[in-house]
Amino acid sequence: MTQIADIIAAIAEEMRIAAERGTVASYIPPLARVDLGRFGMAVIDADGHCHIVGDADEPFSIQSVSKVFSFSMALNAMGEEIWARVRQEPSGSPFNSIVQLESEFGIPRNPFINAGAIVVDDILVARYGKDGAQKRLLDFLRSLVSAPDAIQMDRDVARQEKETGFRNIALANYMRTFGNIRNPVEDTLDFYFHQCALTMSCRQLAEVGTYLMMEGRNPRTKEQVVTPRHAQTVLALMMMCGHYDGSGAFAIRVGLPGKSGVGGGILAVAPGIASIAVWSPGLNAQGNSLLGTRALERLVQQTGWSVFRPSY
């Protein structure tokens, strides 16, 4: 097999010259002004070797990729009881859709659509308090990376998320009417907007993802961050729901559990083999990184890492 470094160098070159790059998210200026030409990728293998290419050390807004980490924390806090508050099924709907909530009594389909992530945050705010939840999430992420201070919450992005977040505010209030938001809506949303505003680079995102590659263990400290069973649960949900109404296409094209964000980042995990982060800010129609998806597709074609291959 060609070395990973050579494979990702060739992928970065293909992405550098790609003409069609998607569209950057435009709902807040900090996302709208990101250069469409950016592309970065980081791959960390099971031995801890990190290969990077392009803008892999450039911080970006991880947005909904953060839902993986808040959900991991909520599983730790609540265990299987969490399924009374959020379900474990794909939605087939856009990330910010409200339609299913009415017929399904305010219980979101899964923790990775906005409604589900807001419920997850409500659980964490009830357990740790509004500021405590933020601090714990930051501690969780920083414990997994080599340069902890590089992971930040961008307060300006959080403020703008709040100022423009009418759909998320509606989702939270609507679920409150079913009793599925238990804290003051503002407190839960404050945490949600701050977690969307987390900033890190591909290198750090791939480092954070290593616990999912290693059956829930932090390879740096050997600490069990989540149980092996919960790591499997998170990965299964990433495969089924990590790309919203684009999840089926992502599973077929890439064949790895993955989670996207509107900042153009994707975290993908080849269990036992690699933690991969890619960033390209241009999005496709479902709000997932256009070139990020293509880059992962190329990587899997050349490494054979799809979990659906018999040899995996």
Ligand X SMILES: NC(=O)CC[C@H](N)C(=O)O
Which chain residues interact with ligand X by CB under 6 A?
63-64, 95-96, 114, 161, 168, 196, 261-262, 287
Minimum distance of ligand X from residue 278's CB (angstroms)? 15
Single-letter code of the amino acid located at 228? P
Binding residues, as ranges, are 64, 114, 161, 168, 192, 244, 262
- Rank residues 59 and 271 by Cβ distance to ligand X and give the closer one: 59
Q: Which is nearer to ligand X, 4 or 68 (CB)?
A: 68
Find the shortest distance in angstroms from Cβ 239 to ligand X. 17
Which sign does the torsion angle of CA 140, 272, 234, 265 carry? positive
Cβ proximity to ligand X, 39 vs 112, nearer residue? 112
Task: Report the binding-site residues for substrate.
Answer: 64, 114, 161, 168, 192, 244, 262
Among the listed residues 67, 130, 162, 259, the single catalytic one is 67
Q: What are phi and psi of 61, to 5 degrees?
A: -80, 115
Catalytic member of 64, 66, 72, 201: 64
Identify whether 67 is a catalytic site residue. yes
Beta-bridge partners for 276: 43, 268
Least separation, in Å, of the C-beta of 95 and ligand X?
Answer: 4
157 belongs to the catalytic site: no
Pick 96 or 227: Cβ nearer ligand X? 96
Q: Which residue is nearest to ligand X (CB)?
A: 64
Residue 247 among the catalytic residues: no
Do the Cβ atoms of 231 and 218 come closer than 8 Å?
Answer: no
| Catalytic residue (one of 34, 119, 225, 244) | 244
Catalytic residue among 262, 269, 278, 300: 262
Smallest separation, CB 243 to ligand X (Å): 9
Asked whether the CA dihedral 123, 124, 126, 127 is positive or negative, the reply is positive
Task: Supply the minimum distance, in Å, between the C-beta of residue 284 and ligand X.
Answer: 12
> Which residues participate in catalysis according to the annotation?
64, 67, 192, 244, 262
